[in-house]
Amino acid sequence: MRLRLPEERPTEPPTGYKIAHPVLSQDGTRAGFTGVSLGGALPYGVLADASCVYGLRHRAPHRRCDCGFHCVHDRTAAEALLCTAEHRAAVLLEVLVLGRYLRFERGFRYARQRVRTATVGPCVCGAVATALADAGWGRPGWRALAPSCAGCVRGRASVSLASFARLAGEGLRVVAGSGAALPAAADLAVPEGLGVPELVAEAALLQARLDWFQTQLGRLGERGPGGGRQG
């Protein structure tokens, strides 16, 4: 006799939490995520199906394999993973567990998921992130992004949180977590089709960038045309 595990038939998809690195396609037209463990080499979209990372032809998740998407039940447990050095730039995802899944004590391993919300942590300087900027690494065809405030973006390629959500599609919400400043967005160009909250965030970033440039111009003025300070 084969031992059959009990089957669940939930009326609504279970909710889970995980961490991942946000990524932007090389041409800047698509946004997604890449995992922090076994599936890290395979970026995925907001709505995605899992496949076996070992290239086997069975359907994920397979009971005798560790393939499939992974998440935990508890948000706090997922947030704890962000404390490690290698995961500081990752974002917290709230996901809907779709399709076939295996339930474990701490979470699920499952076949299909929809990312509902991505919570972006603070910039490396401690301020609230207003953008996702080039992190300096990536996967073939994809650039990894990291949280950044308006002052730290500087000349790096970046997208605002609202723009990332728009590029990712499927109704994804991207929100800024806690930090030392008020949240804003980080593109000089305002994307089309944004609501009032997103437009307010975009305007706040423009003001923040203008303030930064004015500060830099003020410092140059103090030094004078020859590079020395005016006295």
Tens-digit pLDDT profile for residues 18-38: 999 999 999 999 999 999 987
pLDDT at 183: 39
Average pLDDT, the chain: 85
pLDDT tens-digit map of 124-135? 999 999 999 999
- The pLDDT, as a whole number, for residue 199 is 65
Averaged pLDDT for residues 39-64: 87
Residue 189 has pLDDT above 60, yes or no: no
Each residue's pLDDT tens digit, 75-125: 999 999 999 999 999 999 999 999 999 999 999 999 999 999 999 999 999
| b/e code 38-55 from CB counts within 10 Å (16+ = b) | ebeeebbbbbbebbbbee
Is residue 191 scored above 80 in pLDDT?
A: no
Of residues 100 and 195, more confidence is placed in 100
Instruction: Check pLDDT > 90 for residue 58.
Output: no
Q: Which has the minimum average pLDDT: 15-19, 101-105, 178-182, 216-220?
A: 178-182
pLDDT at 89: 96
pLDDT at 85: 93
* pLDDT score of 56: 81
Would you place residue 55 in the very low, low, confident or very high pLDDT band (cuts 50, 70, 90)? confident
